[in-house]
Amino acid sequence: MRRQLTAVAATVIAGMIALATPAAAAPADKSQVLSGWTQTSAASYNSWVSARAGQSSWSAYGFDWSTDYCSSSPDNPFGFPFQTACARHDFGYRNYKQAGTFSANKSRLDDAFYADLKRVCSAYSGAKATSCDATAWTYYQAVKVFGFTAAVDNRAGA
């Protein structure tokens, strides 16, 4: 049983490393890499954060790493650090728009954003957690409703 768990762990780690491997060494095409970095899982989020830290290694893919973080909303509302979640959301919106497949991926991008926000909120307890969760829900509802307009109009990217 222990050997099986070790094998599974090794497979998961290898998969995460493959997602975070620079473009020069990665055989994956841009759409596969983009998809890997825009899923709802913590592993996807962590791979994107790692790639963002070394984004020059991914220049061959031509990703748009620009961000305005949480657009016209506070990046860290009530002290909750939502800035990185907003940056990943911008990354997804901007790159799927560039690929011409934004509409087909918007719902998942918004769900990934909400998952990222909930991970931020999981660090809190009690009333602070409740407040964070409510704020995360509000941000999520805003991008679900207004994100399409912002992306299509080539504004902030939500």
Active-site hit among 21, 58, 70, 89: 89
Contact of 91 with 37, CB cutoff 8 Å: yes
DSSP state of 72: T
60, burial (CB in 10 Å: exposed 0-12, middle 13-18, buried 19+): exposed
Query: Is 89 annotated in the active site?
Result: yes
Contact of 86 with 76, CB cutoff 8 Å: no
C-alpha to C-alpha distance for 135 and 33, rounded to whole angstroms: 30
CB atoms < 10 A from the CB of 48, how many? 25
Specify the amino acid at residue 144: K
Contact of 66 with 155, CB cutoff 8 Å: no
| Catalytic sites, residue numbers | 89
